[in-house]
Amino acid sequence: MSRPRTSLFDITPRTRRRNAAEKRFRAYGIAAISIAIAVLAMLLVSIVSSGAGAFRQTYITLDVDLPEAKLDKSGTRDIAVMKKVSTFGYAPLITKALMAKIEQMGFETPLKKKEIGGLVSKAAAAQLRDYVLAHPDVVGTTQKFEFLASGRIDGYMKGRVTYESAEKDGKISPEQLRLVDALVADGAVVKRFNWAFLTSPDASGQRPESAGLGVAILGSLYMMLVVLLLALPIGVAASIYLEEFAKQNRWTDLIEVNIANLAAVPSIVFGILGLAIFINFAGLPQSAPIVGGLVLTLMTLPTIIISTRAALKAVPPSIREAALGVGASKMQTVFHHVLPLAAPGILTGTIIGLAQALGETAPLLLIGMVAFVKEFPDAPPEGLFDPASALPVQVYNWTQRADPGFVERASGAIITLLLFLVIMNVAAVLLRRRFERRW
């Protein structure tokens, strides 16, 4: 059967069907991408809208009298003596300052002293005490201080708390909110960017306004340090040996299968392993970044090994032959030629492994990193053995707390975690671009 003569301008039914199929396929593709982008956008919008508030905080500015009679009866400015005055001695000073402020504004309020004091965070007294102990000279003078507003006031400033909700809330009354309105009009209450969210430690369930990610960020950094220092050299060395030196036989096949399997082991299993080996057997402290780092190293190793081996495999064999051909030894071939060419791939794999480890929560819960830690760990290496928290665990922790202020904190922590991950992934892409070589 010969082909019938047709004009190029007539579209045959076969061609039409083929073109229609192609169009449909493109539509599926666009639909799939749109769904993915929509879901991502929804996720980001919901997290950012509920978490962005964590980066802004409400502050109350007050002129506080620091009477010598209360703070330093001896009059010697001896720190040891002054330390005997606890935060309970300082809290009334703040309340008094606030009441003086209200009087100065000429604002009439039926609120009791305790309710007025409730506008200021419970963390304020400690802040005042720390300042006075650090600067004993200020005793006897009046100083301007900026205190955190309490969680409910902060919620009111961010729209979370309203007059209606305050009616039913035992911790805040509409009358207090009216006072806040007056203080805002006066300029004593302001909302501004909150560095303390990133630098200060966690706080108790009573005061979400002063809870921060400082310890969690530091703990996560310490763990990443441990992972990087252990997983990178071990992983790269193992990969180079398996890929370049080991003979292909049943044993290497077995190892290869096991590494692939390890990459698929649920992370909580690594947590149990870490608990059994590092804490119960080796006797390392609980909640310590060193243990978290070791567990995450175990988890990251397969990722690094797999990506490093892929990067080594991608180096063309002709480069190895060229080096061997001029009389380089096996090791010189690997270190002078193969490894530099594989480096971008290795770096990318390592950073992706680290990013994965950074977001890992389950194994850390098992080794006790979920504990409430308010003290900053020391500088490494000793600090690696101090209790610390971690970013994803802090998110988990805050979502468990009752005060609605912590919902915002948890979302803020998620934003911080995502920012770190984005930075790491961008670094991976840039490094790959920078060091990529063609052959």
Partner 1 sequence: MKEVKVSARDVQVYYGENHAIKDVSVEIEDKTVTAFIGPSGCGKSTFLRCINRMNDTIDICRVEGDILLDGEDIYDPKVDPVQLRAKVGMVFQKPNPFPKSIYDNVAYGPRIHGLAASKSDLDAIVEKSLRRAALWGEVKDRLNASGTGLSGGQQQRLCIARAVATEPEVLLMDEPASALDPIATAQIEELIDELREKFAVVIVTHSMQQAARVSQKTAFFHLGNLVEYGETSQIFTNPVDPRTESYITGRIG
Which residue from 85, 255, 328, 418 is in contact with partner 1, where contact means CB under 8 A?
328
Amino acid at 76: T
Q: Which of 77, 160, 207, 320 binds partner 1 (CB under 8 A)?
A: 320
Instruction: Give residue for tokens 């004993």.
Output: 136
Shortest distance (Å) from residue 316 CB to partner 1: 8
Residues that bind partner 1 (rule: CB under 8 A) add up to a total of 22
* 241 contacts partner 1 (rule: CB under 8 A): no
Cα–Cα nearest to 199, from 187, 189, 185, 211: 211
Contact 417, 213 (CB under 8 A): no
Site for partner 1 in 105-164 (CB under 8 A): none
208 neighbors 280 (Cβ within 8 angstroms): no
Nearer to partner 1, 323 or 391 (CB): 323
What backbone phi and psi angles, to 5 degrees, belong to 158? -100, 5
CB of 438 to partner 1, least distance (A): 7
Does the protein bind partner 1 through residue 341 (CB under 8 A)?
A: yes
Residue 233 and residue 415: Cα distance in Å, rounded?
Answer: 31
**Least distance (Å) from partner 1 to the CB of residue 320?**
8
Give the separation between CA 420 and CA 37, rounded to whole angstroms: 21
Q: Does 313 bind partner 1 (CB under 8 A)?
A: no
Binding span for partner 1 by CB under 8 A among 65-73, 134-142, 163-171, 315-323: 315-323
Residue 323 touches partner 1, criterion: CB under 8 A: yes
Nearest to residue 390, comparing CAs of 233, 231, 225?
225
The contact pattern for partner 1, residues 356-395, with x = CB under 8 A and - = no contact, is: ----------------------------------------
Q: How far is the CB of 249 from partner 1 (least distance, A)?
A: 8
438 touches partner 1 by CB under 8 A: yes
Q: For residue 258, state whether it binds partner 1 (rule: CB under 8 A).
A: no
Q: Binding of partner 1 at residue 316 (CB under 8 A)?
A: yes
Q: What is the DSSP letter of 188?
A: S
**Cβ-contact 310, 241 below 8 angstroms:** no
247 interacts with partner 1 by CB under 8 A:
yes
Among 326, 382, 402, 433, binds partner 1 (CB under 8 A): 326
Alpha carbon distances (Å) from 293 to 160, 250, 268, 304: 38, 32, 14, 15
φ, ψ dihedrals at 282, nearest 5°: -80, -15
Give the Cα separation of 325 and 318 in Å (integer).
10
The minimum distance between CB 433 and partner 1, in angstroms, equals 16
- Residue 24 or 330: the one with the smaller Cβ distance to partner 1 is 330
Binding flag, residue 83, partner 1 (CB under 8 A): no
217 vs 240, beta carbon nearer partner 1: 240
Among 248, 264, 433, 434, which residue sits at the site for partner 1 (rule: CB under 8 A)? 248
Q: What is d(CA 226, CA 269) in angstroms, rounded to the nearest whole number?
A: 20
| Under rule CB under 8 A, residue 325 binds partner 1 | yes
- Give the residue from 65, 77, 153 showing the smallest Cα distance to 101: 65
Contact call for residue 327 and partner 1 (CB under 8 A): yes
Judged by CB under 8 A, the stretch of 16-24, 91-99, 123-131, 332-340 that binds partner 1 is: 332-340
Instruction: Quote the least distance from Cβ 345 to partner 1, whole Å.
Output: 14
Least separation, in Å, of the C-beta of 347 and partner 1? 17
Contact status, residue 65 vs residue 96, Cβ threshold 8 Å: yes
Task: Please say whether the beta carbons of 218 and 391 come within 8 A.
Answer: no
Question: Which alpha helices (DSSP H) does 52-143 contain, by range?
Answer: 68-71, 79-82, 87-105, 113-117, 123-134
The binding site for partner 1 (CB under 8 A) comprises 247-248, 316, 318-329, 332, 336-337, 341, 437-439
